[in-house]
Amino acid sequence: MEKRQRILLIHGNDERRAGLRSRLEAEGFDVTAAGSGQERQEVFSGPPEDLVVLDMALPRMEGIERYQALRANPRTRRIPVILMTERAVDDYWEPLSSDTDGPCFVAATSGDLSLLLARITQLLAQALVGV
């Protein structure tokens, strides 16, 4: 039996988080989801995930700060991260120039998840082969 890939989904909007989690699980991923500060602390103390989808507009701790904390931690620094933002009009992917450890891309939040799913699949495939 093939191991299911694990995704950590951190999103401040309960409805959006539930929808994303449901769709990712339907695609065959194991998903751990968190929204509140306490939930986020608990999930980061567990085993590392294969990929993180991170809302940039988190309450109490902005997503970019959480991203920096991920990269500062030796346990999580190489995990691929997708930062989601509602500040962009169209979906786009932009590698962060300061990202020196694990891959990171910024994605516009939209109702169409096909681009997000394609990027998740690509990043996970690259991580498996060590690209």
The chain-wide mean pLDDT, for the chain, equals 77
Q: Which residue has the tokens 């539930």?
A: 18
Average pLDDT over residues 58-69: 75
The answer to whether 58 and 66 are in contact (CB under 8 A) is yes
With cut-offs at 50, 70 and 90, classify the pLDDT of residue 91.
low
Residue corresponding to tokens 């991260």: 81
Better-scored residue on pLDDT, 119 or 25: 25
Q: What percent of the chain has pLDDT over 90?
A: 15
DSSP string for 9-77? EE-S-HHHHHHHHHHHHHTT-EEEEE-SHHHHHHHHTSPPPSEEEEETT-SSS-HHHHHHHHHHSTTTT
Closest CA to 23 of 103, 130, 128, 115: 115
When pLDDT is cut at 50, 70 and 90, the band that residue 96 belongs to is low
**Residues 108-119 pLDDT 10s:** 666 667 888 888
If you ran DSSP here, which 8-state letter would residue 93 be given?
-
Provide the whole-model pTM.
0.81
